[in-house]
Amino acid sequence: MGNHSDGSPNHSGTVAKGGQNDVEKFQDPGIPPHRLRLADTDPKAAKKAERQVALLFGISVVGTVIFLVAYFAIDLGKDSAIATIRLQNALLGIGTAFAMLGIGTGIVHWAKALMPDHEVSEERHAIRTEEDRQAAVRIVDDIVEETGIKRRPLIRNTLLGAVALAPLPALAIFGDLGPRPDNTLAHTMWAPQDGKLKRLTRDPDGTPIKAADVTIGSAFHVIPDGLNELSEGKLNEKAKSVVLLMRLNPEELHPSPGREDWAYNGIVAYSKICTHVGCPVALYEQQTHHLLCPCHQSTFDLTQQCKVIFGPASRPLPQLPIAVDSEGYLVATSDFHEPVGPSYWEREQHVLIPNS
Ligand code: FES
């Protein structure tokens, strides 16, 4: 271990300043004198500090317990009032804060009030030999000894309790992540059901749209037929399947091979979910045929299959293939051929027709 300071100036050194010959000597002030703390001289003060540290670790334990009670005892059923959700969130936050702050402040107080605080200096040198390794092990042993953790069972036990309980909130949270989404991100309500094609309907009232209703320059916010009747998972389904429907002059569309029949008479449907981070692409500039995402200004060109022409999005908006049924209503002939919205790890596995 290094040398402990006696507090007196004990070294001298030199520093080069300016030119080679301009060397100025100075007196090394050394390490400042060591000041004893109250707990170093008064056993009662040391005992009091020990109890304070234990109290802080105890607060951490209480914080963890508050978190766990709030997490498991407050039932958030489907019909939970917003006040119940807020209460649980508040208790989870308070519990986590106490759990982390208790351990942190306890360790800081322990180090400042009870652990030896004498100043130590040691020359740097490479650690290579077995002797050095042994010396390092001895230093670690010294540190453990100096913490006093062996002599102070109150601190040791409360610290062990606080550290053992502190990860439990994380376990509870990870356990609540739920089942893997698997390929639910790759499918939407637009897939035909029992051979029946889904009609395009207006958002939010769900009335079907006839091709004749869509005039050149108009834009419709669209949801799949039947979405409003869902009793469960309606918002999740809507988040994936919302679509923008527009009509252009058919000559202005330039479909790539394989997509020639995805539009009907200049009417095209594209996912409304931005491929950047998923905001709704809600602005249509009918003069330029551009769709604009208001979040970070990604701009998609309808005449080029919604290719990105500006902004941070990296992929075109997925196109929904459409046609018209026997009554003249617009229908989706299939689901999207790629997952909508932002990228995720397994996305490429679910792409049926890559964008060209
Ligand atoms: Fe659309 Fe960022 S979410 S540009």
Does ligand 1 have an atom closer than 6 angstroms to the CB of 313?
yes
Considering the domain architecture, whether residues 58 and 92 belong to the same structural domain is answered as yes
Does ligand 1 have an atom closer than 6 angstroms to the CB of 315?
no
Total domain count for the chain?
A: 2
Residue 202, judged by CB atoms within 10 A of its CB (0-12, 13-18, 19+), counts as: middle
Q: Whose CA is nearest to atom 4 of ligand 1?
A: 296
Report the pLDDT value the prediction gives residue 129, as an integer from 0 to 100: 79
Does ligand 1 have an atom closer than 6 angstroms to the CB of 279?
yes
| Pairing between β-strand 283-285 and β-strand 322-324 as defined by DSSP bridges | unpaired
- How far apart CA 207 and CA 139 sit, in angstroms, is 77
Report the pLDDT value the prediction gives residue 356, as an integer from 0 to 100: 52
CA nearest to 197, candidates 310, 292, 39, 330: 330
Considering the domain architecture, whether residues 259 and 167 belong to the same structural domain is answered as no
Structure tokens at 337: 């051929």
Does ligand 1 have an atom closer than 6 angstroms to the CB of 4?
no
Considering the domain architecture, whether residues 52 and 81 belong to the same structural domain is answered as yes
Contact between residue 245 and residue 267 where contact means Cβ atoms under 8 Å apart: yes
- How far apart CA 338 and CA 187 sit, in angstroms, is 8
Report the pLDDT value the prediction gives residue 66, as an integer from 0 to 100: 95
The per-residue pLDDT for range 190-225, each reduced to its tens digit, is: 999 999 999 999 999 999 999 999 999 889 999 999
Considering the domain architecture, whether residues 228 and 208 belong to the same structural domain is answered as yes
CB burial of 62-80 (b: ≥16 within 10 Å; e: otherwise) equals ebbebbbebbeeeeeeeee
Considering the domain architecture, whether residues 157 and 292 belong to the same structural domain is answered as no
Residue 198, judged by CB atoms within 10 A of its CB (0-12, 13-18, 19+), counts as: buried
Structural domain includes residue 6? no
Considering the domain architecture, whether residues 215 and 189 belong to the same structural domain is answered as yes
* pLDDT tens, per residue, the chain with 356 residues: 444 444 444 444 444 444 555 556 777 777 778 888 898 899 999 999 999 999 999 999 999 999 999 998 988 776 678 888 899 999 999 999 999 999 999 999 999 999 888 877 777 777 677 888 888 899 888 888 888 888 888 999 999 999 999 888 888 778 777 777 778 888 999 999 999 999 999 999 999 999 999 999 889 999 999 999 998 888 889 999 999 999 999 999 999 999 999 999 999 999 999 999 999 998 999 899 999 999 999 999 999 999 999 999 999 999 999 999 999 999 999 999 999 999 888 888 888 766 65
Q: Residues 6 or more apart from 164 whose CB is under 8 A from it?
A: none
Considering the domain architecture, whether residues 164 and 82 belong to the same structural domain is answered as yes
Does ligand 1 have an atom closer than 6 angstroms to the CB of 276?
yes
Structure tokens at 149: 């953790």
* DSSP calls for 86-151: HHHHHHHHHHHHHHHHHHHHHHHHHHHHTS----EE-------SHHHHHHHHHHHHHHHHHHTTTT
Considering the domain architecture, whether residues 196 and 133 belong to the same structural domain is answered as no
Half-sphere exposure of 222 (CA within 13 A, CB side): 31
The Å distance, Cα 280 to ligand 1 centre, comes to: 8
- Give the domain range for residue 155: 38-119+127-177
Does ligand 1 have an atom closer than 6 angstroms to the CB of 277?
yes
